[in-house]
Amino acid sequence: MDFNLTKEQVMIRKMVRDFAEDVIQPRAIDIDTSAEFPLDIFQKMGDLGLLGIPFPEKYGGSGGDTISYAIAVEEIGRICGSTGLSFAATVSLGASPIYYFGTEEQKQSYLVPMAEGKALGAFGLTEPNAGSDAGGTKTTAVLDGDEYVINGEKCFITNASFAETIIVTAVTGKDKRGRNIISAIIVPTNSDGITVTSNYDKMGVRGSDTAEVVLEQVRVPKENLLGDPQKGFKQFLYTLDGGRISIAALGLGIAQAALDKALAYAKERTQFGQSISKFQGIQFKLADMAMEVELARNMVYKAAWLKDQNKPFTKEAAYAKLFATETAFRSANQAIQIHGGYGYMREYEVERYLRDAKLLEIGEGTSEVQRLVIARQLGC
């Protein structure tokens, strides 16, 4: 189903699908088992212009829209969840906030290299004691003359080990009601006092870099403040809304991969003298998977379309993120069941889909947080 995609969107889908199948697919199992970030693949993606899809050409991008970008995330995620996650993170979280809120100087200095594929970015929000409660941020940034002095610790930060810049959220003061003002600041990773370590041994998306970032007396020019200092919290909520579309697209890709694998296996596998795809029990599983994948795709594309039309999309992004990621987990689980004992083996890949999908129900706002967002949008 093409959902009335434009010629440009269809071309992007074909280009990314061909790249994912030709370049990423042969290494997908190894990326997972070795847990090594495939930097060379990202360099090739940069050369193809994939890292700049949703940004204007004047900033080194491809001038594409959010739907095109979501399609790209979906196609890469269909082949490799690890690569899909790091792709989504560098575009949606590392580069997009600078495009949304940055000054012209910041865009030229930091967005252009990322859009051109010459640099990766990261977004430092999560802390050991501030996950779903982003307002509980403890990292501080104190203005000292012409510089901010930043101290704090971030955890579970995607791409941080390979990023040129990290957008760090930090408390920069108090408002009139005595509440913390949380601002976003662009921090080059080669700054003195910043330590990035990647020692996590993860269940899934193992080839996506996940790091801890410690900032000790890190000094950056005050010009590195991103956007309005009084609206930092609202700014990164908008950033997360956009990021949720990309994580939804990643979940959609994994769900589609699980369906594809399960359907192909069911047609090949014979038991009791016939293909197991002829058994009603298997047919019902496949029918449910196909229906949920189709529904997820509609949700993802609708949220992306709303964003492109500059319409409110917070609720729809939460719908898409919640449904598509939970669909990914259900579909992967059913794919393993359809494969039987073979589904438990790495070479059949469906067990990797399950491990990768689980992270998507946690990152970019847990499933529970998505339900809270939806409820609030309903006026609860």
Helices and strands of the chain, counted as H and E runs:
13, 10
| CA separation for the pair 132, 122 (Å, rounded) | 18
Residue-by-residue DSSP string for 265-277: HHHH-EETTEEGG
| CA separation for the pair 354, 370 (Å, rounded) | 20
Letter for the amino acid at 283? Q
Instruction: Sort residue 4 into left (φ over 0), alpha (ψ -120 to 50) or beta.
Output: left
CB atoms within 10 A of CB 34: 12
Instruction: Write out the two tokens for 114.
Output: 């990322």
Please return the burial class of 379, using the count of CB atoms within 10 Å of its CB with bins 0-12, 13-18 and 19+: exposed
Which of the residues 127, 292, 351, 364 is marked catalytic? 364
Residues contacting residue 45 through CB under 8 Å, at least 6 positions apart:
19, 51, 87, 117
The helix (run of H) or strand (run of E) holding residue 170 is strand 165-174
Residues contacting residue 370 through CB under 8 Å, at least 6 positions apart:
244, 318, 321, 322
Q: Which residues pair with 220 in a beta bridge?
A: 148
> Is 8 assigned a catalytic role?
no
Active-site positions?
364
